[in-house]
Structure 1
Amino acid sequence: MSLVKSLKVNQITSIVVAAFPILCLSYGKGYNLAAILLFLTSLCLLFVKSEEKTNLQILKDSRVQMIISAFVLYFSLFVLSMIMKNGDFSEVDMPSRVILSIPVLLAAIKHPPKVNWVLNGFVIGAVIAGCIALIHTEYLNQHRAFWGNDSIYWLKGYMAIQSGNMAMSLGMISLVISVFYLKFNKYFLAVFAVTGAILGILGSLLSGSRGGWIFLPIALIYLIYVNRDVFSLKKTSLLVISVLFVGYTAMHLNPEVTSRVSQSIQNVQDYTSNKNTYTSVGIRFQLWESAINSFSHYPVFGAGYKERLVLRKEFAESGAIEQSVGNNNTHSHNQYLEDLSVRGSLGFLALLGILFTPFYIFKKNNNNSNLEIQAINQCGIISIIMMLGYLLSQAMFRHNSGIIFYSIVTVIFLALSINNSKK
């Protein structure tokens, strides 16, 4: 293939990859369209020749093998659970998204997208997320950003928790990108990325999705530590003050933010003192207790979805949890406990596999003096750190948006990391 044709193919890859974060929160189910577009394009690109890499050469890369193995194992545990527990075929629908992300990984390695296109795509996505959140709360007067409402076009298809977490990830990735631009003294792009970081984080705060804030301090500490050559005491203080200012702005724009923080504290106090267990936080605690009890009954393969609900009702009848919670058919509002209760220790280990296998690759590839490579890997690590926090209070992967967002964002940065690791 000629150099001109190769450049055109790489431009196609750049466009569809950069479009994913841009479309994610542009409208309610933007992540679906973006993922379908990326998946179909990737399938086609795998049949397009590349002068640098063949499909077989890519598959021989040990890092690619590790990623594919982790993703396939994760999906296989769902299939095994469905067969063993006489489950429904729909149980394997959501985890199939990690398998569908594999062609995206391979195509992006074979026909590398332009790094600056991808990075700027994430910044634009964060800017859009913040603007959409402001429209929801300030123009449409919704009490929370991304609060789904099928009767209002602007709100159709959004989920406050899922979308709020996605906005936070886009914001934090933009923050990493801003540091990268600062190192190259690209001040205009740095300001652009900082704007994306502010709006992305603000969008999450306006959504009132408290789980999205859990690991924010950890992510900031990591970012400051790995870039300690840049973050002097003055710059570190400025970053912390800026984040606090964004929080203050969110509370000023939407009193619901302050209300949900104080509500969480009160819910915990009420639960521990047995005053009121049927609250937002109290229900989560009881669902967690039910999940742990289900795991104790089936520690290896888990109870499966159907048996888990039966056990939950039994726990309610015995008084271990509230009767109203026992009749609740929802997930456990904690991805780790969800996998432990439904698929046991094996399912839990498979979950850790799709989280920490990419983390390991990003961490290993980050030991490189090339600043662009460092930025790519730090984006991937920050994304995973934030996801680890989301999973504590929400079963993100039980929703189409969560599993698509994590899988696609992860393979995008993995492809960039693997392609550029030899620079």
Structure 2
Amino acid sequence: MSAFLLGALTLLLPSGYAYGAAIFIVFAMASFPLWAKERLSDRSAVWLALVFAVMGAVWIFGADLDRGLSALNKPFRYVLALACIPVAFLYPPKGRWLLWGIAVGAAFGGLRASYDIFVLGYERAWYDAAHQSSSGVIQYGNMSGLFGLICWVQWAVFHERWSWRRSALMLACVFLGVLGSLLSQTRGGWVALVLCMVPLLWLIYRYVANHRFIYAVLGLLAVVMALLWHQSSYLQERWSLARDEVAGFVKNGEADNSVGHRLAHWKLAWDMGLEKPLTGWGEAGYAEQKRLRVEKGEAPPSVLYYGHAHNEWFDMFVKRGVIGLVGLLLFYAVPLALFWPTQARVQRPDGTIDPEALCLRLAGMLFPLAYLGFGLTQVYLAHFNGNMIYLFMVLFFMAAIRGHQRGHGGSV
């Protein structure tokens, strides 16, 4: 239930990601006597525990402790995820529930975005401009696209063993997931998903038959072409606007627009970070220094609109220095290495490729890979949904892989 709901409700309900995570946290607490004495011997579990603990400590380092207990809100979520690691590996979720939950989530993403645009008349999905109300347009738009891409991975690996109805249903989920991303206007997310396709296409080409790879690419092209035809004028307008905003910042220093204020944030964060490269300024120091530099005319007022630098790496550098950058690098690199589908990891004893193991590893790998891309234009981990989705998706996918290896994963 936790594995399915984590993906299925993320894009449908406010804080939808929390339902699946909360159910599992309650289960972990209730079953404490059953797993408390279990030794955490699985190497993947130990590595996940290490990077979760390090990243939780990173959030405490440089935090604004004058905020009181609220400063510990984010680190506390890492403590909860840490406590769930032994339970997840002792009672691993079945991979098919994770994958179908993501498929349902992708469908809800496209349907919710379409409802916002075509029924409610919003300019952007998940964003009510008339009331200046947003439920997380960039985060949800990015996640919708990521879920759609994971649906395509499922289709690419399994479509030959599925009925035509099931294959068509999964392609519809691919379409809806990517549509949700387009309607959210998250341009940085589109770039991140395109970057994910480079290793993804190579890995699928490596492990599936040539004709299946060709079908997979043709299926993806069909979805993309349909979306481009449907949204061509809209996409052209967004890219033209981005080009004009870059030119405006370069020529005149214009920072009162989407691209301009990002570039201003990046420049300021880099300059400040170089002044305290090891430890950074801390959250409170960053906010104070921004205010002082705006007053002196050293930075545009637009940098005061947000409490972060609109780039995961610049934000970590300016607030927590190289120490924070190392923690963030481990947070993404270690899970990526654990998921990476090497020949030995996806091969059965008879030498054939195990499609379930391949699909679970490719899907799990996409979370650190996509977050790396998302973080180029947005501080994804500044938001609770960004942290919780990553923590529990990475945990559930790795535990599901271990369950499948032990023969308890079932077929997808």
Per the normalisation by structure 2, the TM-score is: 0.88
1:300 maps to which residue? Answer: 278
Work out which of the residue numbers 406, 411, 417 in structure 1 matches 2:395. Answer: 411
CA distance in 1, matches of 2:80, 2:226: 36
CA distance in 1, matches of 2:113, 2:99: 22
Moved more, 270-279 or 194-203: 270-279
Letter paired with 2:399: A
State, as a whole percentage, how many aligned pairs show the same letter.
Answer: 22
Aligned pair in 2 of structure 1 residues 256, 46: CA closer, same or farther (>3 Å)? farther
CA distance in 1, matches of 2:67, 2:270: 21
Q: Does 1:193 align with 2:170?
A: yes
CA distance in 2, matches of 1:332, 1:88: 23
CA distance in 1, matches of 2:66, 2:396: 35
Work out which of the residue numbers 318, 322, 334 in structure 2 matches 1:345. Answer: 322
Q: Deviations over 1:270-328 (max 9, x none)?
A: 11222633221111111111111221122111101111122223333454321x13543
Per the normalisation by structure 1, the TM-score is: 0.86
Q: Deviations over 1:150-192 (max 9, x none)?
A: 97xxx97622111101111211111111122225345433322
CA distance in 1, matches of 2:317, 2:374: 17
Work out which of the residue numbers 112, 115, 132 in structure 1 matches 2:95. Answer: 115
Report how far residue 256 of structure 1 moved. Answer: 4.8
Q: Does 1:75 align with 2:52?
A: no
CA distance in 2, matches of 1:340, 1:278: 24
Aligned pair in 2 of structure 1 residues 422, 99: CA closer, same or farther (>3 Å)? same
2:366 maps to which residue? Answer: 382
CA distance in 2, matches of 1:16, 1:398: 24
Q: Is the 8 A contact 1:55 1:110 kept in 2?
A: no
Q: Does 1:227 align with 2:208?
A: no
Q: Is the 8 A contact 1:109 1:418 kept in 2?
A: yes
CA distance in 1, matches of 2:96, 2:8: 14
Work out which of the residue numbers 374, 397, 402 in structure 1 matches 2:381. Answer: 397
Letter paired with 1:147: Y
Question: How many equivalent residue pairs?
Answer: 397
1:53-72 aligned at under 5 Å gives the runs 56-57=37-38, 59-72=40-53
1:30 maps to which residue? Answer: 16
Aligned pair in 2 of structure 1 residues 186, 222: CA closer, same or farther (>3 Å)? farther
Work out which of the residue numbers 235, 244, 255 in structure 2 matches 1:277. Answer: 255
1:140-155 aligned at under 5 Å gives the runs 140-148=120-128
CA distance in 2, matches of 1:69, 1:148: 40
**SS of aligned partner of 2:327:** helix
Moved more, 74-83 or 118-127: 74-83
Letter paired with 2:249: Y
1:178 maps to which residue? Answer: 155
Moved more, 190-199 or 270-279: 270-279
1:126 maps to which residue? Answer: 106
Letter paired with 2:334: T
Report how far residue 334 of structure 1 moved. Answer: 0.8
2:350 maps to which residue? Answer: none
Report how far residue 30 of structure 1 moved. Answer: 1.3
The two structures, once aligned, show a CA RMSD in angstroms of 2.6
1:242 maps to which residue? Answer: 222
1:315 maps to which residue? Answer: 293
Letter paired with 2:170: A
Moved more, 119-128 or 72-81: 72-81
Report how far residue 218 of structure 1 moved. Answer: 2.4
Report how far residue 396 of structure 1 moved. Answer: 0.9
1:8 maps to which residue? Answer: none
CA distance in 2, matches of 1:237, 1:358: 27
Letter paired with 1:267: E
Letter paired with 2:17: Y
Aligned pair in 2 of structure 1 residues 420, 413: CA closer, same or farther (>3 Å)? same
Work out which of the residue numbers 87, 104, 118 in structure 2 matches 1:138. Answer: 118
Aligned pair in 2 of structure 1 residues 89, 304: CA closer, same or farther (>3 Å)? farther
1:10 maps to which residue? Answer: none
Letter paired with 1:101: A
Report how far residue 147 of structure 1 moved. Answer: 1.1
**SS of aligned partner of 2:99:** helix
CA distance in 2, matches of 1:114, 1:46: 21
CA distance in 1, matches of 2:33, 2:115: 42
CA distance in 1, matches of 2:153, 2:85: 22
Moved more, 355-364 or 236-245: 236-245
Letter paired with 2:53: V
Unaligned runs of 5+ in 2: 348-353, 408-412
Q: Deviations over 1:227-283 (max 9, x none)?
A: 21345474365145224324315526xx65443222111111211222633221111
2:189 maps to which residue? Answer: 212
Q: Is the 8 A contact 2:159 2:167 kept in 1?
A: yes
1:326-365 aligned at under 5 Å gives the runs 326-363=303-340
Aligned pair in 2 of structure 1 residues 173, 345: CA closer, same or farther (>3 Å)? same
Q: Deviations over 1:392-422 (max 9, x none)?
A: 1111111111111111111111111233346
Aligned pair in 2 of structure 1 residues 120, 167: CA closer, same or farther (>3 Å)? same
Q: Does 1:101 align with 2:101?
A: no
Letter paired with 2:336: F
Aligned pair in 2 of structure 1 residues 246, 44: CA closer, same or farther (>3 Å)? farther
Letter paired with 2:191: I
Letter paired with 1:389: G
